């Protein structure tokens, strides 16, 4: 199963939200059923921890339940939902640790003057994707994503895993599209470095 590509359509949840806000509160269960899987995986990717992912889903739905009547249709429900989930995640981290997270300067990823640069792509960049992405690599990739500093991690997960566009991600995180692009690029470069390390040290043949 692959992650969805960015979508551009009308809000497919509008009818359901409308029904709930018009008094069919019982249908809130439909909303939970519709989004629990995506939110759970969003939580797993942000935290790489089952308990934290479950907490994120639960807190997010409680917030949605309390504030759904304030939801305005100018944004898609899904984007509003992820905005709440993202805030839950950020608050959670602030509660657990106060150390400022590091920035990832672009220079850190640039090759130095005298570095010998590869002329051919490494095996991991050309092997068929479905053969490459086994259980072990999936687990390693999850760890590496979870290890990114939060502001990069949120952008990478929203853009490259959840499939939101640059504009949508900017709206969800309340930052500028230019900022989304900067964080995404650095987050991807950090992940790429982590993957290089993983493949350089992987003793098992392909």
Partner 1 sequence: MTHPHHDPSHCRDLFEKMSEYIDGELDAKAAADIRRHLTGCPHCAVCRDTLQRTVDLCRGLPARPVPPDFSAKLALLVAEQLDSGAGGQEGARP
Question: Footprint of partner 1 on this chain (CB under 8 A)?
Answer: 1-3, 20-21, 25-26, 28-29, 32, 36-38, 40-41, 44-45, 50, 54, 57-58, 61-63, 65-70, 87, 106, 109-111, 117-122, 124-126, 129-130, 132-133, 137-138, 141-142, 145, 156, 160-161, 163, 166, 181, 184-185, 188-189, 191-192, 195-196
Shortest CB 99 distance to partner 1, Å: 26
Of 70 and 100, CB closest to partner 1: 70
What are the residues whose beta carbons fall under 8 Å from the beta carbon of 205, sequence distance 6 or more?
none
What is the separation of C-alpha 54 from the centre of its chain, rounded to a whole number of angstroms? 16
DSSP secondary structure letter of residue 157: I
Shortest CB 17 distance to partner 1, Å: 11
Of 100 and 111, CB closest to partner 1: 111
The encoded tokens of residue 29 equal 């269960």
Q: Give me the torsion for CA of 171, 96, 56, 162, rounded to 10°.
A: 40
Shortest CB 97 distance to partner 1, Å: 23
Asked if 192 and 148 touch (Cβ cutoff 8 Å), the reply is: no
Please give the helix or strand (H or E) that residue 166 lies within, else none.
Answer: helix 166-173
Of 93 and 188, CB closest to partner 1: 188
């Amino acid at each position: 199963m692959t992650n969805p590509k960015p979508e551009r359509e009308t809000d497919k949840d509008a009818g359901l939200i409308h029904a709930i806000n018009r008094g069919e509160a019982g249908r809130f269960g439909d909303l939970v059923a519709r989004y629990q899987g995506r939110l759970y995986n969003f939580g797993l990717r942000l935290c790489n921890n089952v308990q934290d992912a479950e907490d994120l889903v639960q807190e997010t739905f409680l917030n949605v339940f309390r504030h759904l009547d304030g939801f305005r249709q100018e944004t898609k429900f899904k984007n509003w939902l992820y905005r709440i989930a993202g805030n839950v995640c950020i608050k959670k981290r602030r509660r657990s640790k106060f150390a400022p997270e590091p920035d990832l300067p672009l220079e850190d990823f640039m090759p130095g003057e005298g570095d010998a640069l590869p002329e051919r792509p490494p095996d991991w960049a050309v092997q068929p994707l479905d053969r490459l992405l086994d259980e072990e690599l999936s687990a390693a990739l999850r760890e590496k994503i979870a290890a990114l500093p939060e502001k990069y991690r949120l952008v990478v997960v929203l853009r490259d895993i959840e499939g939101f566009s640059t504009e949508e991600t900017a709206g969800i995180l309340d930052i500028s599209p230019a900022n989304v692009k900067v964080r995404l690029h650095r987050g991807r470069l950090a992940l790429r470095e982590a993957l290089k390390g993983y493949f350089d040290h992987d003793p098992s043949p392909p």
